[in-house]
Structure 1
Amino acid sequence: MSNEIEKDFNLGGTVESALSGQYELSVTKVFKEAWDCTIKHFFSFTPAIILLAILQVVIFFIALNMQVFDITSVFEQLAQTGTIPAGFMQALYIANFSYEVISAPFFAGVCLMAMSHAAGLKTKTRQITSGLQFTVMIIFVTLISLLLQGIANLLLPVISIYLSLAFSNAVLLVCEKHVRPLNALLLSLRAVNRKIFQIAIIYAVLMGLFLAALMFYGVGLLFVLPFYFHVKGIIYRNMFGIRLKIVTTNQHNGDDDQNNNSQVFNA
């Protein structure tokens, strides 16, 4: 005979502490923990990131080919005349926009995996699809975020950079807290504003790491990309907290023997 006992608890911050700024966000501690998570889950997490990258590249080139039928001629013209054909930059922008929106549910799945690592849980590659159950809301929140950033970029690029930081937790809020898209964007913005200086430093360092990784023929991205996702997961945990569930199974063998088995899951 076995009985299951379930208990929910919160790891890290809360929505209230995030909005009040009462959460810890040490730059050095975030980086150290993110690196530890990256090394610990490297072989189980990297395949999911590679799958996401392949998916995004495929979507990008499909979207680009639908607008520019002969990409090689574009590069030939660039090499011969030093000019880019009219409309090509717009095609690049649309292709970039397309891959970010279409792949958003899978991006969310990778973010959820990294968040689980920040909570001390293990994941499997198939969990890259865990964001698909929130597809509509994830695409909606991604669309709004990208549109606002695009408009801000036309006015003043620095505002667009700020919005990319301000909205960085919105997708996880939709998936983990089940917050509506507009509320998720607002909650993320308000929480980030409380410690915008630390967050700006963190993402500036990440950008520097991306550039350094590209200098080594992109090989460094195998470490920088999982590190980036783990940083996002740790920031989210410290800000808003992660809901977890402990399931304890009591198994009775005979009159006196009893075995307890406890497991922790994302709630």
Structure 2
Amino acid sequence: MNNETEKDFNLGGSIDTALSGQYQLSITSVFKEAWDCTIKHFLSFSPAIILLAILQLAIFFLALHFQVSNVTEIFENFAKNGKLPEGFMRSLYIANFSYEVISAPFYAGVSLMAMSHAVGLKTTTKQIGSGLQYTIPVIIVTLVSLVLQGIANLLVPVISLYLSLAFTNAGLLVCEKRIRPFNALWISLRAANRKLLQLAVIYAVIMGLFLAALMFYGIGLVLVLPFFFHVKGIIYRNMFGVRLKIVATPHDDSNDSGGENDQDKPSQIFNA
């Protein structure tokens, strides 16, 4: 007989508080907590980050190779002459677009792992595939977001930066709240507008960290990448909250000779 008791609860904000702007978003607190999460989960989280990076690079270069057969020669000529052949930038854009769309479910999986760390849960590398069950809606969200950013970039580039910031939580809303893609984009945008200045500062600092990491031959990315995902997870938790489930198993006195009380039995906590 199963005597387990389940209880759902929400940790952090909610959609209502996010849309009303009644959520906490202290820049220093977000960075401090994200750094603590990065250090605590560094060894267990890094393999997933590496797998995602390898996958994205493979998709990027395959997409580029299908368009340009002599990629190596082009980069060698660019190093010598500082010139790129006509149309090559368009090929780079298509390759970048391809890897972002195709790898979106795995990117969502890594984001979900970081979100779990933000609520005190541990993860394993295989959870990088946790976003695969949301493949279609996540790809739709990514596709629509990239198309809108691309159009905005042609008109007013600063609007493209704004949209990339405003849509940053849409993927997690699809996966964690099971919200439809277009609704997720709209909710993410409205919630971001409530704390736009704080979000802009946070992601501007992260962009600076990425640039600094690249200046040192990319070595710093081993810390910056997990830090970035943890920042995203903490922001999402503070904005929208994370649904969790507590599963408690009552103590059975007949099978225990130690006289342990029910209150001493630890509950298990899962993502709902």
Whether these two folds match at TM > 0.5 is yes
> What displacement does 1:2 show?
5.4
Written as runs of structure 1 = structure 2, the 5 A alignment for 1:216-255 is: 216-254=216-254
**Residue equivalent to 1:66:** 66
SS at match of 2:266: strand
Q: Distance in 2 between matches of 1:173 and 1:30?
A: 19
Q: Secondary structure at the match of 1:254?
A: helix
The whole-number CA distance in structure 1 between the counterparts of 2:240 and 2:85 is: 46
Matched, 1:147 2:135: no
Q: CA deviation at 1:24?
A: 0.2
Looking at structure 2, the residues matched to 220 and 79 of structure 1 have their Cα atoms a distance apart, in angstroms, of: 24
Q: How far apart are the structure 2 equivalents of 1:66 and 1:127?
A: 31
Larger deviation, residues 74-83 vs 90-99: 74-83
Q: Which residue of 2 aligns with 1:117?
A: 117
Distance of 1:160 and 1:77 partners within structure 2: 31
Residue 261 of structure 1 aligns with which residue?
Answer: 266
Deviations along 1:183-218, whole A, 9 cap, x unmatched? 000000000000000000000000000011111111
Distance 2:247 2:142 in 1: 34
Q: Determine helix, strand or coil for the equivalent of 2:24.
A: coil
Name whichever of 39-48 and 251-260 sits farther off.
Answer: 251-260
Aligned-pair distance for 1:84?
1.1
Q: Bigger CA drift: 94-103 or 251-260?
A: 251-260
CA drift at 1:86:
1.2
Question: Hey, what's the Cα distance between the residues in 1 that align with 2:164 and 2:6?
Answer: 38
Letter in 1 for 2:166: A
Structure 2: distance between partners of 1:76 and 1:135: 37
Structure 2 unmatched runs, 5+: none
Q: What SS is found at the alignment partner of 1:121?
A: coil
Which stretches in structure 1 are left out of the alignment for 5+ residues? none
Aligned 8 A contact 1:167 1:189 in 2: yes
Count of residues in correspondence between the two structures: 267
Q: CA deviation at 1:79?
A: 4.2
Is the 1:19–1:191 contact (alpha carbons within 8 Å) kept by the matching residues of 2? Answer: yes
CA distance in 2, matches of 1:215, 1:76: 20
- Aligned equivalents of 2:29, 2:235: Cα separation in 1: 11
Write the mapping of 1:105-254 to structure 2, written as runs, cut at 5 A. 105-254=105-254
Q: CA deviation at 1:82?
A: 3.2
Q: Distance in 2 between matches of 1:82 and 1:167?
A: 35
Paired AA for residue 243 in structure 1: R
2:44 corresponds in structure 1 to 44
Offset at residue 101 of structure 1 (A): 0.3
- Conserved in 2, the CA contact under 8 Å of 1:64 and 1:92? yes
Residue pair 1:2, 1:252 contacting (<8 A) in 2 also: no
Per-residue CA distance 1:119-146 (angstroms, 9 max, x = gap): 0000001000000000000000000000
Cα pair 1:109 1:128 within 8 Å, conserved: yes
Query: Deviations 1:29-62 (Å, cap 9, x if unpaired)?
Result: 0000000000000000011000000000000000
The 3-state SS of whatever aligns with 1:55 is helix
> Which residue identity does 2:148 align to in structure 1?
L
Structure 1 stretches (4+) deviating beyond 6 angstroms?
A: none
Question: Which one-letter code corresponds to 2:159 in the other structure?
Answer: I
Q: State the shift of 1:74 in Å.
A: 1.3
Larger mean Cα displacement after TM superposition, 15-24 or 75-84:
75-84
Indicate the residue corresponding to 1:77 in structure 2: 77
Q: Secondary structure at the match of 1:139?
A: helix
Aligned to 2:13: 13
Which moves more between the two structures, 251-260 or 26-35? 251-260
User: Considering only aligned residues, what root-mean-square deviation do their CA atoms show, in Å?
Assistant: 1.4
Percent identity of paired positions between Structure 1 and Structure 2:
72
- Whole-Å Cα distance in 2 between the matches of residues 177 and 79 of structure 1? 47
Match of 1:95 in 2: 95
Q: 1:69: Cα distance to partner?
A: 0.5
Change (3 A) 1:108 1:255: closer
Give the whole-Å Cα distance in 2 for the aligned partners of 1:141 and 1:223.
Answer: 27
TM-score of the pair, normalised by structure 2: 0.95
Distance 2:239 2:223 in 1: 24
Distance 1:29 1:261 in 2: 29
State the TM-score, normalizing by the size of structure 1. 0.97
